[in-house]
Amino acid sequence: MTENKNQYEYHVPVMLQECLDGLDINPDGVYVDLTFGGGGHARAIFEQLSVKGKLIVFDQDEDAKKNAWDAPNFHFVASNFSFLKNQLRMLGIKAVDGILADLGVSSHQFNEPERGFSIRADEYLDMRMNQRSGDSAYDVVNTYDEDQLATILGKYGEVKSPRRIAQKIVLKRQASPIRTTGELVAVLSELAPKFKENRFFAQVFQAIRIEVNDEMGVLEDMLEQTASVLRPGGRLVVMSYHSLEDRLVKNYIKSGNFKGKINKDFFGNVLRPLSGVTRKPLVASEEEIERNSRARSAKLRIAERNEGE
């Protein structure tokens, strides 16, 4: 395995040791990293595996494939993780011992201005994780009607006065399309709360990015599939970076559904495929946050596959 010197420049792995501990790795087991990125978490998992163990990694971003390595027990899958079950079946794998998902946008994607994720640049409004398909942020900003924009801004950005922001965007694009991140920031500037401008811009960008990539939909699809591919006793480790993601993960672990509604059998046993290993989510230490500011908002939840569910 060739060491990639740029590994941590691409994306610094958050709560690395906590993720490894959460997976409770069996050296001969089969593990899946659903968000390969720079390979930081994946390399650490791989180093704990024997030649009998296997690591399968997923990433739909073409840039991530450059960080893959050659090994008979390592497989890179160029796919969205919502196709988890089908892709594993194609590899002849029916059950796995552990699954890791580090959600959100990688440092690399934020730092590549042409991807259109960052408020700090003036580049084409793209924001697609997979640049080969789907509508871009440009399409959302310039074709969604006022109601649609207000809905996603309120739901995914959790901004105040989403209708006002939507009206401003629609009014501006009537004169000329909003083509770049810089142009969108300029439109939003008049509405940004004083001294909280960057947070406001980030919330709006987050809402558009989530819509572009259907992040909530693919997360739900993935979580439901983990229950059917994990062996009994297998571990699911999920790291989220905003409350919308964390709520879905929390509810699914708690109840087996996304509304958090508890269902019980005749004997009063909770019907759910997973059980939480930790009562509360793990968070990064102050030392790690100092080294890597992205860790500040991270919440790590660990679950175990129940027997016979």
Q: What is the pLDDT of residues 251-266, one digit of tens each?
A: 999 999 999 999 988 8
227, 204: one domain: no
Q: Which of 103-107, 126-130, 138-142 has the lowest mean pLDDT?
A: 103-107
Q: Which residues contact 152 (CB under 8 A, 6 or more apart)?
A: 140, 144, 207, 208, 210, 211
What is the pLDDT at residue 114?
A: 53
Give binding residues as ranges. 39-41, 59, 81, 102, 109
141, 203: one domain: yes
Instruction: Give percent above pLDDT 70 in the chain.
Output: 91
State yes or no: pLDDT of 108 exceeds 50: no
Q: How many domains does the chain have?
A: 2
In-domain check, residue 2 = no
Average pLDDT over residues 167-178: 96
Expressed as residue numbers, the domain containing 182 is 118-213
Give binding residues for S-adenosyl-L-methionine as ranges. 39-41, 59, 81, 102, 109
- The whole-angstrom separation of Cα 157 and Cα 159 is 5
Provide the CATH number for the domain around residue 240. Answer: 3.40.50.150
pTM: 0.88
What is the pLDDT at residue 146?
A: 97
Give tens-digit pLDDT for 12-34.
789 999 999 999 999 999 999 99
In-domain check, residue 90 = yes
Q: Report yes or no: 274 and 233 within 8 Å, Cβ to Cβ.
A: no
State yes or no: pLDDT of 124 exceeds 70: yes
Q: Report yes or no: 219 and 248 within 8 Å, Cβ to Cβ.
A: yes
